[in-house]
Amino acid sequence: MSSSYSCLILLIDLDGTLTDTANPYFKPMKDGLIETDLSKVPIIAGAIEFINDQKSKGNIPIITSDSHPKYVKKIANEIFKIDFIYLTDKPNIEKTVEQYKQLKNNNSFLPELSEKDNFIVIGDSWLDIEFGRKFNFITIFTTFYTPTHIEERDGIGQDWKPLKSGPTFYADSFLEVSNIIQNPNDNLLCLEAEFKSFSSVKSVKFKTDKYPNRFIIYRALARQNNGECDKFAIADKYFQIGNPNRTQEFLNTLSSGISNYVKYICSNKKYSWDIFTFVTDKESTIPQNKMKEIFDKVDTEIPKHQIFIWKNNLTSSIRNCPDYSHRKDFVKENVNIIDGIDLKDKSIIIIDDQFTTGATASEITRKLTDKGAKNIFFIALFYYINTVYSRTCPNCGEQLLIKINRKNGNKFLSCVLPQYGGKGCGRTESI
């Protein structure tokens, strides 16, 4: 990971990342209400070895925890022997900024927080990821344990919430975390790597529905973000899909990434695929044949067929639907399978431009299974992630939102006016 310093700062969460203490049983310790008994604190397998290995490589792990200082200090000092930041109040960053400055006063070699390439946030909840995004740091979402309960605030036990927080990377073990730190470009999401001139077949794994004799898989190849994010996010590229002036270079890069991912799917010889298709655009879509032009450029040996068609003269849009249920109904009523296409027992790979609520994906796959399709692999090029703010307008104090000029793809900060859904004064700043 390129850096102006020789070391990386790993801001690593404690509970659920280094210690298996996400269970409510440990809350009195974490809140400092009872003495921390280290003999009762389970360490996640490989955690100590990971910390020691990173220190041996010259990197600096710092525990960054929401828990009480008595609890965090004892574990940091006696088990991991590293510095720590406590009561962080994630996803807010103010307390971390304050305590990091204190650490830097004692260790002048530490980089400034503005040196964004020197920092990685590692954690097991959406709070960690959105905390990292507010700094514009790279983030790694970890799944080192099996949740035994659902916790609303931390998103523990909820698959959807961490996905929507938009981490840069995903890791199931400390070995994977080490590999990401050592080889970040190989672990980027497929399209995010492609637009950085790297190659990857990584995707966001939304879900896999398994049935006795078939399956439906949902994946996404890049993030579409509003607000702060890390340097690998490519929201501007998503808006280029719908840009009438999009370039052939852009289309070639996009289709190259999709082609690589489809080839990766086909490399599993256990399954064969009969049809490669796409979610078509309405007649009124600008540019016309927005998705078809991308679809035609994808390099695959799977037979290509257009399966879907929108109703003629449709003036409304799925973007105007307020929620998942209304979006699903909109697709159900207005998208049809072309007459005469035999889908019985056919295995199908389908691409679409965006995954927002999942309504389109759900209804499209239902239409296919109703026609007898067997295995379905639904690929969204981008998926919409939560908006994260970190800066405020100097004029009115409202949150500044990163916006993207749809004509040229340039990013800018906007204090969004009320008529556009905000509460701001209309100030804009170039990025």
Q: How far apart are CA 302 and CA 151, in angstroms?
A: 43
Q: How far apart are CA 340 and CA 346, in angstroms?
A: 14
Taking 70 as the threshold, does the pLDDT of residue 318 lie above it?
yes
The residues with which 64 forms a beta bridge, in sequence order, are 85
Residue 24 CA: distances (Å) to CA of 57, 65, 224: 35, 16, 34
pLDDT at 4: 43
pLDDT band at 6; cut points 50, 70, 90: low
Give the DSSP H/E element, type plus range, for residue 362. helix 359-370
In this structure, the strands spanning 376-384 and 428-430 are unpaired
Nearest to 167 by CA among 378, 8, 61, 13: 13
Residues 6+ apart with CB under 8 A from 213: 374
Mean pLDDT of 332-360: 94
Residue 142 CA: distances (Å) to CA of 15, 119, 323: 12, 16, 29
Whole-prediction pTM:
0.89
Please state which architecture CATH assigns to domain 204-225+241-384: 3-Layer(aba) Sandwich (3.40)
Nearest to 381 by CA among 215, 226, 255, 198: 255
pLDDT band at 269; cut points 50, 70, 90: very high
Q: How far apart are CA 177 and CA 128, in angstroms?
A: 15
Q: Of the given ranges (338-342, 358-362, 406-410), which has the lowest mean pLDDT?
A: 406-410
CATH class of 9-187: alpha beta
pLDDT at 145: 84
pLDDT at 416: 86
Identity of residue 129: I
pLDDT band at 170; cut points 50, 70, 90: very high
pLDDT at 288: 79
Distance, C-alpha 34 to centroid of its chain = 37
**Which tokens go with 154?**
């931390």
pLDDT at 407: 60
